[in-house]
A and B are shown apart, each in its own frame.
Chain A
């Protein structure tokens, strides 16, 4: 593990070995994930902020992102996010969306969310609900936009880790952050932006507290093939007591899933033989909880033959009931792309502030959420938009962009908005974790009521799609 100095009073001394350079930037961004790349592109696309010199530092190699446009991988990668219409608008605005690989994204105009215990359901349909897009496709379009802008005052260091951050004076209120890079160089910056994800070294350097909790759940992701193409373009989400399982559309017969479940089950799901995983995943969208529980036990005991033959019987038997309409469920899954299964711990966290002197946080560095509403990445895009606007305004007023006066409008605008969203998603997760029947009955009734009230649905949908 890397250790980051959080002592802002530590004076930074450049070492005397000559080939180690100290660079100077107006804005140093740590992290070239969706948030960091978007910020770099946005700063350079904006007529006012483009005069700022920018350094972008990323620990891992950006080669996969660079190669994506020329030789995209044959199969879909497993990190896929739903991009809201609002985020797409912004990406268009900064001139990046035109570089998105159109053949690998899938817009959807329906969301079907249903209760795993009562099968009560709510359906939203509207043009431009969202677009399913691989994270790497998004990163690639942003990088292409940066290349198109071809601005010599933007410098990218990839495969370069930040090993330490310190202040250049003992006086934290006036000092500039100095970033120590793993290649021996250092970067001194007027403004340091942490787009460095959940474990944000920048947040630790700025001693900003982040509050929240782990959900004791993991999200299992996988790239999947459907039996045949689903022309309905629906994002499916079924709320099981262990967590929601979502099936999201990709072009042709492709789909991606996020199956939130307990740590033990997530580990099991990632390790199951492929055919067993697919059979179980199909059950997760259709069969009652009692069957799923039985199958989990069989899977844990590695009784795979028994599991497959039982599923074959039960699926047929259950879906032939007159009360069950197979049209109400997703198209059956056919296979999982080898090695595409992975799991991520899910947590809620929110930083107490997004800014301090010469520091700003964007994206997962500032907040993380349960993926059930598909908002994490989009919140980061919202942050970027707001931060760039604040910096633009500050420059027009002649303020130092690292000054708290320049940064505070950003956090004043974003923090409350994000806080509400984090809260709603958190409550949803909790509500649907309950399997006590009176609660199931009330929430199902609630869902049925909402489903029958178009106006309320429109309102909720505007919140989700960000429009």
Chain B
């Protein structure tokens, strides 16, 4: 097969190069967890085609999933009107998401484009997963400290079956303190796995169109229980040090 680009940000890599790149990212990520390039690299390398194909097929089997694949919405500060979200009533999903962005001091633009997935449609599926990641935080109320990140990954793994999310949830706890780990296993994992498995396919949610909806109603529709105890509050109570 040729090494032609299948979409603008595509970087075609093949066979052995792919392996080497995967290994490099893995070591890079362990040594420099603060460098986001390594993490996203692993994500793409481990998002094996069969897994992405399965997620894509679950989208193709669902009306909204197909609509998303057809319209290919992107989530950026341009496509999302943050001022509008700010103006929404506090109990709406949109406003919750806005508050979450504020509290975590992030913006919808902090997502990296997909480079290493060959099929253009699968690349979009992965991009979509990446861009919806913050919505998963918002709906579960989990912060982006390492501990919260692991918990969201567990939630996503249970829902999507993405190996990267799974590996993150299994391997990363070793970087936590004993106390954080216990809290993760006792409080967050049970919530994440049971909700991730039982709620509707998150990839088939057109989040952009749920902004005006009351967050409790949205959770009910998706089959998600009320969020786990606020992690930041628990951490404060424990006087834990912020990691990220």
Contacts and interface: CB of A to CB of B under 8 A. Distances in A.
Contacts of A293: 61
B66 A310 contact: yes
B103 interface: no
Contacts of A459: none
Given A294-B66, A310-B66, A321 B60 contact: no
Nearest to A298: B63
B208 interface: no
B69 to A, nearest CB: 8
B119 A321 contact: yes
Given A294-B66, A310-B66, A322 B4 contact: yes
A290 B60 contact: yes
A314 B70 CA distance: 8
Contacts of A314: 66, 70
Contact of A322 (B6, B60, B66, B70): B6
Given A321-B119, A322-B4, A291 B60 contact: yes
Contacts of B57: 288, 290
Interface in B36-72: 57, 60-61, 66, 69-70
A285 B114 CA distance: 32
Contact of A321 (B4, B70, B120): B120
A313 B70 contact: yes
Given A321-B119, A321-B120, A294 B4 contact: no
* Interface size of A as a range: 10 to 19
A216 B69 CA distance: 35
Interface in A306-346: 310, 313-314, 317, 321-323
Nearest to B6: A322
Most B CB contacts (10 A, CB to CB) among A288, A290, A291, A323 go to A290
A290 B4 contact: no
B60 A294 contact: yes
Contacts of B6: 322
A288 B57 CA distance: 10
Contacts of B149: none
B220 to A, nearest CB: 25
B121 interface: yes
B121 A321 contact: yes
Contacts of A290: 57, 60-61
Contacts of B61: 290, 293-294
A319 to B, nearest CB: 12
Nearest to A289: B57
Contacts of B60: 288, 290-291, 294
B98 to A, nearest CB: 32
A288 B121 CA distance: 14
Nearest to B70: A313
B206 to A, nearest CB: 16
A288 to B, nearest CB: 8
Nearest to A291: B60
Interface string B1-22: 0001010000000000000000
A294 B58 CA distance: 11
Contacts of B66: 294, 310, 314
B35 to A, nearest CB: 32
B203 to A, nearest CB: 14
B165 to A, nearest CB: 23
A317 B61 CA distance: 16
A17 to B, nearest CB: 68
A310 B61 CA distance: 12
Nearest to B50: A437
B119 to A, nearest CB: 7
Interface string A291-307: 10110000000000000
A309 to B, nearest CB: 9
A294 B204 CA distance: 15
Contacts of B119: 321, 323
A321 B6 CA distance: 9
Contacts of B70: 310, 313-314, 317
Contacts of A321: 119-121
Nearest to B67: A310
B114 to A, nearest CB: 17
Interface in B91-134: 119-121
Contacts of B69: 317
B200 to A, nearest CB: 17
Interface in A271-298: 288, 290-291, 293-294
A350 to B, nearest CB: 40
A313 B72 CA distance: 12
A322 B7 CA distance: 11
A305 B6 CA distance: 31
Contacts of A313: 70
A239 B61 CA distance: 21
A291 B62 CA distance: 10
Nearest to B4: A322
Most A CB contacts (10 A, CB to CB) among B60, B61, B70, B120 go to B60
B233 to A, nearest CB: 44
B50 to A, nearest CB: 9
A321 B66 CA distance: 17
Contacts of A323: 119
A322 B6 CA distance: 8
Nearest to A287: B60
B36 to A, nearest CB: 30
Contacts of A288: 57, 60
Nearest to A303: B63
B10 to A, nearest CB: 11
A302 to B, nearest CB: 15
**Those 9 A-B pairs whose CB atoms lie nearest each other, nearest first:** A290-B57, A290-B60, A313-B70, A294-B61, A290-B61, A291-B60, A322-B6, A294-B60, A310-B66
24 contacts: A288-B57, A288-B60, A290-B57, A290-B60, A290-B61, A291-B60, A293-B61, A294-B60, A294-B61, A294-B66, A310-B66, A310-B70, A313-B70, A314-B66, A314-B70, A317-B69, A317-B70, A317-B121, A321-B119, A321-B120, A321-B121, A322-B4, A322-B6, A323-B119
Interface of B: 4, 6, 57, 60-61, 66, 69-70, 119-121
Given A294-B66, A313-B70, A314-B66, 9 more contacts: A290-B61, A291-B60, A310-B70, A314-B70, A317-B69, A317-B121, A321-B120, A321-B121, A322-B6
